[in-house]
Every structure is written in structure tokens, then in C-alpha cells.
Amino acid sequence: MVEKLALNGGPKTKTTAPFPMYPGGLEIGAEERKEVLEVLDNQYLFRYYGPKGVASKVAQLEKDFAKMMGSPYALAVTNCTGALITSLIACGVGPGHEVLVPGYTFFASCAAIVAAKAIPVIVEVDETLTMDPKDIEKKINSSTKAIVVVHMRGVPCDMDSIMAIAKKHNLMVIEDVAQALGGTYKGKMLGTFGDCGCYSFQYHKTITAGEGGMIITKDLRLLDRCKGYHDTAACWRPDRFAEQRYEGELFAGVNYRMSELTGAVLLAQLRKLDSLLLRMRSNQRRIIDQIKDVKGLKVRPSYDEAGDTGICIMFYLPKADQVQQFAEALSAEGVPCGGVFNSGLPDWHIYAHWKHIIEKKTPTPEGCPWTCPYHKGPEVNYSVDMNPHTLEYLSRVIHLDVPPQMSNEDCDLTAKAIKKVAAALL
């Protein structure tokens, strides 16, 4: 017998309170307070001009982060958008170039390309909701300079295929790991495959200081160029006023330097990362194990299930027109969730809503980078329906967060609610 849905007056399945998806934010406490107070007590708010004899929290964060990711070098910046722009420019991306980016990612992944004075080319995602290697190949031409690879919603891309394509066409690879910190692909940390890996510490991310970003690289020359762009005053150089040590070391940049207060919070948060990942992965697996065989549902596949960070669960319904009713019914059962793509509801994570790009909006009438005379390839144009596979996949998906603070009871009741709604509606 099918249970009556709460939406229709039946008993609510999950009566425990939901947790907001602020994994590290909800864990802020004595450790963060201790690190921040040390900065204030030392009156050392900025790493380059602080009191002598006081260790920089940002410098220590870079060291600890690089070690955890298995990378020789790390550079702390103000946010992940700044990390992406800095990395693109350090990798030589600029006027006349095209850069591939997936159609399912936060808009910043694409906007960073325009900020680097290059033209974004939007690529399809496959059923994993990460970049489709087959479409990458189709969209490469002589103007293509780089690929921005996005490990979207906590899962790894097909890095074997993507790195083989990049090598074949001599392309730079920048990994956007904003939503997948701590994720892996075949045992190797995400962000360590490409030329640069970029991370976010915005409040919704796994660990947080409200804002903040990080770049990792294994190339010392790229690290120098990242430093040069993120700090145009060259405070990081052994002799900031000296002549450049090699061609391309010095050039005009911006200010994306991380403050000591941000670094202090993140030092404490970084020590909590392993625990947060362990709990999210455990919660995700507990729920998926109970719903994976439910008729009518298909859990989003992954190129490496073990590498998933566990931040969410996404599953497909047979038809797009079932999503809204399913989401409303599941939410009424006490499990906050939603569909992903609705053509009438703007979402900056989906290319179809990037009006800035589709309409080639620019701050000045010249229209750069799309009108750049250095661009030698065919004109790049966009339309809402240019990547139909991406929209079709996203239109059938239900998404729910998996906070690390969930208990086993929370997980079991979530799974029970999903099964109840599926039995009634599918």
C-alpha cells in the first residue's frame, strides 16, 4: 500500500530539523578564535608588512595546504574567482585565445575567462554533470589555449581523458575545485592534475573563512607568475625593486592578497577538513545505499565514486516534468531539495542563464574580448539551447545537500522519505 504523502495531508517522514549547508561554517569555534586572537594580539594583519619576528598565518596556511594536497607550491588569494583569473593569466591566456568551460558551473568559472581577456567556449556536460570529453574535442580549434575543468558538485571529472586531450592539443589546464575540496581521482587529489588548481573558501564551501581562495601548482615558474599577478607591487620578491630575473616575471597585475585574519580562520578550518569529508561521505553513502535500487531513480554516476566529496546527492527522474512535483513532495516530507534546471528560474550555475555571455555584454562599447583583432578563429556565438544535452540532463535532476552534521537517523529518514515519494509518484 502506498503511503499518503505529507503534501496531501499524510504524516511527515522526517521530523528532525535540517542543517544548513555550511559544513565548516557550523564548526567554527575555539580553534578559529585562538588563531584569530593571535593575529590581533600580535597586531599583524598583513603578511608583507607585519612586525618582525611574527610568523605569517597565510604563509603557514599555504605550506599546510600544499602538503595536504600533495603539491609543492600553494598561493593564498582573496577568493576562487581571483584564483582562476590569476591562474589563467599565469598560464599565458590572453587576447585572441579561446578557453573551454563547462555549461554547468558557477558563472565565475566563465567570467574569469573574460577577465583574462579571452573568449569562453561553453562545453557540454555528460551524465556525471562534469565536462564531456567528446564535446571538448569537437570545440577545439587553433585559437584554443586552455581548458577550465570544473569538478562540479563534489565529483571528479574524467581526468584521464581530459589530460590526454590537453596533451594532444598542447593546452593548459586549470582545475576549478571550488566545490570539490578534498576530492580525488584514482587516488590523486583534485587540483593536482592540471597546470593550476583553484579552490574556494566561501561560506557555502567545505571549509570557510567567509571568503578566500587558493592556487596550487607544481611549476615554480607558474607560481612566480601567479604571485606577480596577485600582487602587482611585487612584495613577494626577494628584492621587490630589482630587475626581472627572467623574461615574463614582471608585469602589471592586481591585488588578490589574502589577509592574516582570513588565513588564521582557514588554518583552523583546514585541520577539520578530513573529519568533514569523512562525515559527508559516510552520510552520502548511507543514503545512497538505501535508494540506489528504487524504481524510477538513477543516482548520478561518477568517474570515481571513492573520490566524491559527499557534499550532495543528485539523482535523475525519468522525465523533466516529474521534477517539480517530486521536489515539492520530498520537501514536504522534511527533506529540503530542488530541481536543478528550470528555464524560467535563473540560476548562475547553468550557462542558459549567463545573459552576460550569451549577449556578449561588456563594460565598454568596444566589445572585447569578442571583437579582439588578435582572435583568428571563427566568430564565437552563443544561444540558450547551444548545449542541449546539458539542459536535458539538468532538467531531470533532483538535488539535496548532505551536511556533515547529519546523524544516522537524519540519513535514514531522508532515504525513507525519498522512497516514499518515489513509490507515490513514479
pLDDT in tens, 80-108: 999 999 999 999 999 999 999 999 999 99
**What is the average pLDDT across 320-345?**
93
Helix (H) or strand (E) segment spanning residue 101: strand 98-102
Which pLDDT belongs to residue 96? 97
Q: What is the pLDDT of residue 48?
A: 87
The answer to which of 195-204, 232-241, 417-426 has the lowest mean pLDDT is: 232-241
- Tell me, what's the pLDDT at 279? 98
Q: Residue 40, SS3?
A: helix
For residues 17-25, give the mean pLDDT: 97
Domains identified in the chain and CATH numbers? 6-24+273-343+390-425 (3.90.1150.10), 30-272 (3.40.640.10)
Mean pLDDT of 102-128: 98
Of all residues in the chain, what percent carry a pLDDT higher than 90?
92
The predicted structure's pLDDT at residue 18: 96
> Using CA atoms, how far apart are residues 375 and 114, in angstroms rounded to an integer?
13
pLDDT at 249: 87
pLDDT at 345: 74
- Residue type at 39? V
13 confidence band (pLDDT: 50, 70, 90): very high
1: pLDDT strictly greater than 80:
no
What tens digit of pLDDT does each residue of 28-70 get? Answer: 999 999 999 999 999 999 998 878 889 999 999 999 999 999 9
pLDDT band at 342 (very low <50, low <70, confident <90, very high): confident
- Going along 167-249, which residue ranges are E strands? 172-176, 184-185, 188-189, 196-200, 213-217
Q: What is the mean pLDDT of residues 118-128?
A: 98
State the chain's maximal CA–CA distance in angstroms: 80
* Range with the poorest average pLDDT among 150-164, 235-249, 279-293, 385-399: 235-249
Report whether 186 contacts 161 (CB < 8 A). Answer: no
The burial class, CB within 10 Å (0-12 / 13-18 / 19+), for 201 is: buried
Q: How confident is the model at residue 159 (pLDDT cuts 50, 70, 90)?
A: very high
Taking residue 360's Cβ as centre, other Cβ atoms within 10 Å add up to 17
Q: Are 337 and 60 in contact (CB under 8 A)?
A: no
pLDDT of res. 362: 95
Q: Where are the alpha helices (DSSP H) in 28-150?
A: 30-42, 57-69, 80-90, 107-115, 133-138
Mean pLDDT of 355-374: 96
Among 186, 246, 237, 196, residue whose Cα is nearest residue 218: 196
Percentage of the residues of the chain whose pLDDT score is greater than 70:
100
- pTM for the structure as a whole: 0.97
- Interval 8-23 mean pLDDT: 97
